[in-house]
């Protein structure tokens, strides 16, 4: 092969890769990508095969358990609460990560202050309209980047990504963030959720690669 043809072939290969949106997948250790993860530009959808249709007029968020003031919020009441925005990275246990996700909604701490959990409350159990559930230590939920999001990238949260409202807990693998959120219960004893009873890690820290129990 002549030099010219060789260079042209390489150039065409590079153009093809660029057109496909190729970028390096693994960042050096100590970077922004947790171990064993690779970066995606898209936003894959993971669910149980059901994306429940919840008319906003019928939507409720029930917050109960070990709290002084249990509530059952309508969509209007929920959206009247103070709104916050946060940009965070999203890490799915199936090894894809997505950077710079822009979420807007209600901070978990706002709900916490509203219902006033008792001192015995140490765990949170989330339930969803599709039958999903997941559990998180209360301490982890009190991080200021934990939101019940109703907006993604300045648009109403699409149903496939958990709309009308979903939980976002950026410091944990994404299965800890319940889409189609329906209930939040404060508990004294831990109670395993949908994937946790099926062998997923209970602590789910992507930086420690806590994928499976
Ligand atoms: N209600 C509900 N929430 C859920 C799930 C689900 O199946 N149902 N899947 C979890 C998993 S495993 C992941 S990785 C994320 C995926 O969110 P996405 O579909 O917006 O990417 O949602 C989590 N929350
Ligand atoms: Mo996941």
Instruction: Name the residue with the closest Cα to ligand 1, atom 2.
Output: 179
Q: Would the pLDDT of 63 be above 70?
A: yes
Those residues whose C-beta lies under 8 Å from the C-beta of residue 3, and which sit 6 or more positions away, are: none
Beta bridge partners of 87: 102
Tens of pLDDT, residues 79-111: 999 999 999 999 999 999 999 999 999 999 999
Instruction: Name the residue with the closest Cα to ligand 1, atom 1.
Output: 179
**What's the pTM value of the predicted model, to 2 decimals?**
0.88
Triad 18, 35, 46: Cα angle to 5°: 70
Residue-level pLDDT at 213: 94
Ligand 1 near 163 CB (within 6 A): no
> Domain ranges in the chain?
3-208
Distance 202 CA to ligand 2 centre (A): 13
Distance 6 CA to ligand 2 centre (A): 43
Those residues whose C-beta lies under 8 Å from the C-beta of residue 208, and which sit 6 or more positions away, are: none
Distance 177 CA to ligand 1 centre (A): 7
Tens of pLDDT, residues 150-197: 999 999 999 999 999 999 999 999 999 999 999 999 999 999 999 999
Tens of pLDDT, residues 12-42: 433 443 354 534 334 445 699 999 999 999 9
Ligand 1 near 50 CB (within 6 A): no
- CA atoms 109, 114, 118, 121: torsion sign: negative
Least distant ligand from the CA of 90: 1
Distance 208 CA to ligand 2 centre (A): 16
Q: Would the pLDDT of 119 be above 90?
A: yes
Q: Got the DSSP string for the chain?
A: --HHHHHHHHHHHHHHHHHTT-----PPTTSSSPTT-EE-SS-----SS------TTT-EEEEEESBSS-EEEEHHHHHTSPPEEEEEEEE-TTSEEEEEEEEEEEEHHHHHHHH-B-TT--EEEEEETTS-EEEEEHHHHTSTT-EEEEEETTEEPPGGGTTT-EEE-TTS-GGGS-SSEEEEEEESS----TTGGGTB-SS--GGGT--B-
Q: Would the pLDDT of 8 be above 90?
A: no
Residue-level pLDDT at 17: 37
Residue-level pLDDT at 38: 97
Query: Please, what is the average pLDDT of the chain?
Result: 90
| Torsion angle defined by CA atoms of residues 31, 37, 41 and 46, in that order, rounded to the nearest 10 degrees | -140
Alpha-carbon distances of 155 from 98, 105, 203, rounded to whole Å: 18, 11, 31
Residue-level pLDDT at 10: 35
| Mean pLDDT confidence for 115-129 | 98
Alpha-carbon distances of 198 from 127, 172, 207, rounded to whole Å: 16, 17, 21
Those residues whose C-beta lies under 8 Å from the C-beta of residue 198, and which sit 6 or more positions away, are: none
Ligand 1 near 129 CB (within 6 A): no
User: Which residues crowd ion ligand 2, with CB under 5 Å?
Assistant: 46, 92-93, 175
Residue-level pLDDT at 137: 98
Domain 3-208 maps to which CATH number in 3.20.20.410, 3.40.190.10, 3.90.420.10, 3.40.630.30?
A: 3.90.420.10
What is the pairing mode between strands 147-152 and 155-156? antiparallel
């Amino acid at each position: 092969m002549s030099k010219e043809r060789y260079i042209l072939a390489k150039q065409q290969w590079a153009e093809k890769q660029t057109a496909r949106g190729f970028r390096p997948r693994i960042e050096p250790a100590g970077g922004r990508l947790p171990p064993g993860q690779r970066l995606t530009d898209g936003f894959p959808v993971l669910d149980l095969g059901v994306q429940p249709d919840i008319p906003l007029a019928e939507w409720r968020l029930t917050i109960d358990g070990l709290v002084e003031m249990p509530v059952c919020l309508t969509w209007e009441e929920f959206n009247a609460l103070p709104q916050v925005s946060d940009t965070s990275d999203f890490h799915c246990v199936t090894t894809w990560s997505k950077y710079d996700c822009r979420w807007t909604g209600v901070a978990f701490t706002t709900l916490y202050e509203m219902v006033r959990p008792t001192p015995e409350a140490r765990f949170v159990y989330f339930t969803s309209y599709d039958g999903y559930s997941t559990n998180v230590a209360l301490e982890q939920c009190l991080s200021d980047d934990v939101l019940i999001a109703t907006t993604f990238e300045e648009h109403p949260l699409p149903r496939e990504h958990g709309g009308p409202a979903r939980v976002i807990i950026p410091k944990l693998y994404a299965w800890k963030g319940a889409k189609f959120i329906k209930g939040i219960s404060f508990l004294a004893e831990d109670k395993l959720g949908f994937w946790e009873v099926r062998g997923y890690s209970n602590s789910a820290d992507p930086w420690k690669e806590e994928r499976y129990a």
